[in-house]
Structure 1
């Protein structure tokens, strides 16, 4: 009897201890969001998106000094880099309809990270022409756009059924992580270019997407059975075309709403306004910059 009583008391004590640790973990929050592995994954993906600005100044110097491109060509390449962002709904359809290795979120985060690491690794080693630079920059932009869609869908799924305060806290976590990454990269980008050169910065940038691939294992997701070996993907999911058609119709109906259409038109014309970034960069470097340390000043000025 005494042995059974002591065993019961020890089990109760261990249960209380476990509950206390669980309660402490739940009370620990980041931007008002409960600390969990999935929250860490979301925050790190957004941090990487902001930190990838580390290569922004290096790309500008590379196009100007190494490839000897004029401001018009540099602006054209910058415009090409935005093309993957124009078809973001397509990435959502792909990730939702075609699970990769049985997962709709994890696998695509890993793939996005690997693509980004590949593109910047090539920029750091083999790329020596403007065409190669365009291809690598496009691949890098695609990896960021795809991971952005995947992590946004994770945030939306988590915000469903939550209060408005929790949804706002999730957005604060996302934007705060991205802003922190941007501040860190802006502070160090110029000094790294001045001290080690653009190729070194590209190599450092190649490590950042690997963080996205690494934190994908923290995403809580159920395994989805895929098609059997030799079976066509569309035959395994015959409702894909129909569901895609319905999604497109719903998207079009949403865009037609005045509350959505008018802000969309405003953003379109705002983004269509000619940018002077390339011209200002060339003018600043060629006319006013007389020291090699000016890149550090430019990089840190982007913090503002």
Structure 2
């Protein structure tokens, strides 16, 4: 191949750059750039609405709910095309919904229940767009050879991290210059990119299938999924990931501590987000270059232990021990967040890769959405358990006497899933799954006989199509 040929075919992580790849990666970029509103939401709930740490934790946990029912969006886009399109139309709808939710936050939201509603709607917007591109990601991920495994996930998460990086510092700086409502108004613009970019998706219009056919589809898909989920090679790793994700979180209480007790202003918190965005990219790069060949069991075992040990450094800040060591609160916070983000991202990547490799042929999109739903249900549980612990320990917006205990408990609980570490596969689970699963051709033919059309949940491979922060969300 000549040098000119290479110029004509640029690649990212080994994947050809096409208009559709650009469009779908734009969706991930927007997911990252929507973090512009993240600090604004926290300050809005804390200061404008006057909520307590426990209330903020409980309310923000609701944002995970749309991701719990993520497969539902797949069913809807499959059986009920809008104007004949299952992908373009739903991406356009998702963008408009997100724009409307953030516009409402910028103008009419005055009560906690309405704020919760708009936050959930904005989350639904992202979840709908995400489920559309996830099916293509999993299709392509399964086609990767083992030596390239994780490259597509790394690419999509890197693009999301770049989007987050783009607005990391701005998220705090804007709050220093403008009100939270102005930031919400600016955020409302970005979902419209998803609506506009959807037009680059190549898709043939098709008719909606009947309600009876849709019901039959769902019933048969559920039977196929139930048969897959019952396999120990899928069930046990899924259970481990759920336990790993469901441990309680002290994030909301800690936010109140650094803003009310340490007096960190929005501009500095923007700097912290900038540092952690770079750290997230570093974590992805380290995993991609050095760790992607390490077994899932060994990788998650060691990363959990290391993250737990490093997590205790937060106690130094909570107890003000860093001041005795002559380290300023802000410098310590920056360094601590940098290290914890790198280790957290390294721990996150194998979970994403494992989830993709667990999907049996023929039901990749639905199974991946189901796995991610269980993960996000665990994330919701993590926030709500954290809210209960925060309330039980008496940590409020002004009383942080027992925050050290909250941090200790939440950190120690992250080690509990290690008891079940053997539930994770020692090697690549895909080879074993392929030996015990109906072929994708058989599954597709069975499905087509019922519905008379292709399903987004049993996707065909279309040319040049490529596609939870927690962040505990996917």
Q: TM-score range by the shorter chain?
A: 0.7 to 0.9
Which of 47, 71, 78 aligns to 2:60? It is 78
Aligned equivalents of 1:292, 1:250: Cα separation in 2? 49
Look up the SS of the partner of 1:103 in the other structure.
coil
1:10 maps to what in 2? Answer: none
TM-aligned CA distance change 1:78 to 1:273, over 3 Å = same
After alignment, is 152-161 or 42-51 more displaced?
152-161
Deviations 1:131-173 (A, max 9, x none): 1100000000111111110111233455676766777543333
TM-aligned CA distance change 1:173 to 1:58, over 3 Å = same
TM-aligned CA distance change 1:62 to 1:163, over 3 Å = same
2:159 maps to what in 1? Answer: 177
Deviations 1:173-199 (A, max 9, x none): 312211111222223211111122211
Task: Measure how far apart 1:41 and its partner are.
Answer: 0.8
2:223 maps to what in 1? Answer: 249
Determine if the alignment matches structure 1 residue 145 to structure 2 residue 127.
yes
Task: Measure how far apart 1:28 and its partner are.
Answer: 1.3
| Cα RMSD (Å) | 2.4
TM-aligned CA distance change 1:166 to 1:112, over 3 Å = farther
Contact 1:109-1:212 within 8 A present in 2 as well:
yes
After alignment, is 33-42 or 250-259 more displaced?
250-259
TM-aligned CA distance change 1:171 to 1:295, over 3 Å = closer
Task: Measure how far apart 1:243 and its partner are.
Answer: 1.3
Task: Measure how far apart 1:267 and its partner are.
Answer: 2.0
TM-aligned CA distance change 1:166 to 1:223, over 3 Å = farther
Pairing 1:25-174 to 2, within 5 Å after superposition = 26-157=8-139, 168-174=150-156
Aligned equivalents of 2:78, 2:139: Cα separation in 1? 12
1:223 maps to what in 2? Answer: 205
Normalising to structure 2: TM-score of the pair? 0.55
- Structure 1 portions without partners, runs of 5+: 1-19, 228-232
Aligned equivalents of 1:167, 1:107: Cα separation in 2? 31
Task: Measure how far apart 1:91 and its partner are.
Answer: 1.1
Contact 1:188-1:299 within 8 A present in 2 as well:
no
- Structure 2 portions without partners, runs of 5+: 278-337, 339-474
TM-aligned CA distance change 1:292 to 1:37, over 3 Å = closer
Look up the SS of the partner of 1:56 in the other structure.
helix
Aligned equivalents of 2:224, 2:264: Cα separation in 1? 56
Task: Measure how far apart 1:37 and its partner are.
Answer: 0.8
Normalising to structure 1: TM-score of the pair? 0.83
Instruction: State how many pairs are aligned.
Output: 277
Contact 2:259-2:265 within 8 A present in 1 as well:
no
Aligned equivalents of 1:104, 1:166: Cα separation in 2? 30
Higher helix share: 1
Aligned equivalents of 1:185, 1:164: Cα separation in 2? 34
Contact 2:36-2:167 within 8 A present in 1 as well:
yes
